[in-house]
Amino acid sequence: MAIRKFTENVNVISALPDAPSAPEYNASILKAKFDEAALKIKSYLNDTLIPDIENTAIEGVGVVRKLLVSYDYSGMFTFDTEEYPSVGGVYDVVLVGGGGGGSINSSYALSSGTGGGSGAVTKTVGAVLEGEYHVSVGSAGVSDAGSGFAGGTTFMMNESYTFFQSASGGDCSSQLSKIGHSGGIGGSDGSYADGAGYYGAGGDNEYGRGVRGAALSDDVVPAEGYGAGGWGNFTATCGAAFIYGYVRV
């Protein structure tokens, strides 16, 4: 965007009469006239010029988007904007929920394997953040006989414990439900054997690929990345949080 110009008239004093007098020009009015031009300039600098410069920078003039920090294992973390400053206080936040666990029958036969859903992926672009934020990364859902366990929710909240953003974990699968549903937007459901050579899989999302089932343990492909669904008794993966900022170059 173009930087807006200062167009206010600052010829305040020269516009006064040669001999200003009361009641039209008393002491209070004259004092205000002497301050008027400076206040106009101050208002332009704070309310127009500086925001325009910061917005122009964010659009790519001398500033680049950079991954400031990633939290890629389950747990609670503290993100502080003083430790990770960004131009204009603007950040992009990506959260990934933990993957849901799969299930297998009590005999642990791979043919009974079912897939858990992947964690959701939520993105906030252009968020203005200030101060400290608590970031909790969702754990991977455990796979088990009969029924697995759901993946944990990944969330971010401010110092007042008000939620800023969250991404739900994937649902577990069971021998009854067969399918573990995704945690929501950006995720996919798990699946189970179709009886025609397909053994099912854990759910995928943009940041993770779920377990790929097979008839033999050696042929099962483990989950990769973040928020990927488990299958059978093969584990899911935990969620993650990625926080991007804008830095001058």
Looking at residue 57, its pLDDT comes to 56
Looking at residue 152, its pLDDT comes to 97
The predicted-structure confidence for 4-23, as pLDDT tens digits, reads as follows 877 888 787 787 787 777 77
Looking at residue 59, its pLDDT comes to 57
Instruction: Return d(Cα 234, Cα 108) in angstroms, integer.
Output: 11
Low-confidence spans in the chain with pLDDT less than 70: 1-3, 53-61
Smallest CA-to-CA distance from 102 within 44, 205, 178 is with 178
Any long-range contacts for 44-48 (C-beta under 8 Å, 24+ apart)?
44/6, 44/8, 48/4, 48/6
CB burial readout 56-66, b (16+ within 10 A) else e: ebbeeeebebe
Looking at residue 209, its pLDDT comes to 98
Q: Which amino acid is at 200?
A: G
